[in-house]
Amino acid sequence: METGGNPPRRDGSGSEVRRFRRGRRLRETPAVRALVRETALSAAHLVLPLFAVPGARREEPVSSMPGVRRLSPDLILRECEKAAALGVGGALLFGVPDVKTGDASGAWDMAGPVPEAIRLIKRDLPGFPVITDVCLCEYTENGHCGFIRDGRIDNDLTLPALARSALAHAGAGADFVAPSDMMDGRVGCLRDALDASGFAAVGILSYAVKYASAFYGPFREAAGSAPSSGDRKSHQMDPANLREAVLEARSDLEEGADMLMVKPAMWYLDVVRTLRDRFDEPIACYNVSGEYAAVKAAAANGWLDERRTVLEALLSMRRAGADLLITYHALDAAGWLRAEGKA
């Protein structure tokens, strides 16, 4: 007996027709799919990583990362001009000095390639956001993220050097500094140094959750930052751990981080979602060199459609909850999105 609600639907013979959801009604045409799409991806979500080397009119291809080059500051500016024209959200700069030293002094050299690139960008593109990587691995002779004492990385000895590097970048005009070293307490150290030196407006995008991943190999060629001995498992996170990611993120926010990063991206989207569900601050994820190289290699062999694969991967990062997508695909992806009317 019917007690309320809609009566059952019946066919011409009077037999009851089973109801089922017709999800295809919301997928029938491109316009309908766009109307109900849950997740948006635009060029403004993308951040372009760039490797700065000293000199002028200098470019050096990175063999393991097709399409990626180490560039002198004048050519860094040209890439940022392209990015800005396509609506890309910003750039992340890494320094690759010609000479590495035991004291990592190139990390805070105001005449170094990163400060010089920042000055050029801010001169010609003052509104284009510039983020700078803060770490010692590109600058030390041994390729480690911190200073070695008694065979181990000395966390607290490293902190003042990281602060000097951040101050050099802030002094050149950086909008955000991004400590990637994974030393304990480095966010608070940088925040104190920036505030005390008149750079309270400079933000911190912390590599809060950086795993000891196998996917960094091509980057280490690009930055010349492979450790001469040992590994980075004492300070980068164990890929098996998720709850620890929440602890690291909370600690960095308490120390003054403005934004959080998860690195790598594609194999760690559960981590991105976990942080998104717990914190309101902006979250970045880094689509790292090994992820980039894998897609490039598969596309070069005809195994994947590069455009579709890249846009799907980036959309998955947005769906997981990331606000900023740091990716070497940024220029290509922005161009594809513009062609689709989504720039």
Model pLDDT, residue 1: 44
> pLDDT tens digits for 257-271?
999 999 999 999 999
pLDDT tens figures, 75-116 = 999 999 999 999 999 999 999 999 888 888 989 999 999 999
- Could you tell me whether strands 69-71 and 59-61 are parallel, antiparallel, or unpaired per DSSP bridges? antiparallel
DSSP state, 108?
G
Better-scored residue on pLDDT, 16 or 237: 237
Tell me the pLDDT tens digit for each residue of 296-323.
999 999 999 999 999 999 999 999 999 9
Look at residue 141 and tell me whether its pLDDT is greater than 70. Answer: yes
| Confidence band for 7, pLDDT divided at 50, 70 and 90 | low
Instruction: Confirm if 260 and 238 have CB atoms less than 8 A apart.
Output: no
* All structural domains of the chain with their residue ranges: 41-339
Residue 34 pLDDT? 87
DSSP string for residues in 158-179: HHHHHHHHHHHHHHHT-SEEEE
Catalytic residue among 82, 100, 122, 210: 210
Quick: pLDDT tens for 269-283. Answer: 999 999 999 999 999
More confident residue, 240 or 5: 240
User: CA-CA-CA-CA torsion for 67, 72, 78, 79, nearest 10 degrees?
Assistant: 40
Identify the DSSP state of 208. E
122 a catalytic residue: no
Alpha-carbon distance 116 to 28, whole Å? Answer: 52
The active-site residue, picked from 82, 233, 263, 342, is 263
For the residues 179-203, what does the mean pLDDT come to? Answer: 95
Q: What percent of the chain has pLDDT over 70?
A: 91
Question: Could you confirm whether domain 41-339 is CATH 3.20.20.70?
Answer: yes
pLDDT at 2: 46
Residue the block writes with tokens 């769906």: 319
- The answer to whether 235 and 287 are in contact (CB under 8 A) is no
Q: Is the pLDDT of residue 208 over 50?
A: yes
- Is the predicted pLDDT of residue 224 greater than 80, yes or no? no
> Residue 334 is inside which H or E element, if any?
helix 330-339
Question: For all residues of the chain together, what is the average pLDDT?
Answer: 91
Higher pLDDT, 16 or 209: 209
pLDDT score at 229: 54
Residue 210 is a catalytic residue: yes
Determine the average pLDDT of the residues in 161-167.
96
Which pLDDT score, from 0 to 100, does residue 144 have?
A: 73
Residue 47 tokens read as 């951040």
Instruction: Find the range with the poorest average confidence among 18-27, 188-197, 253-262.
Output: 18-27
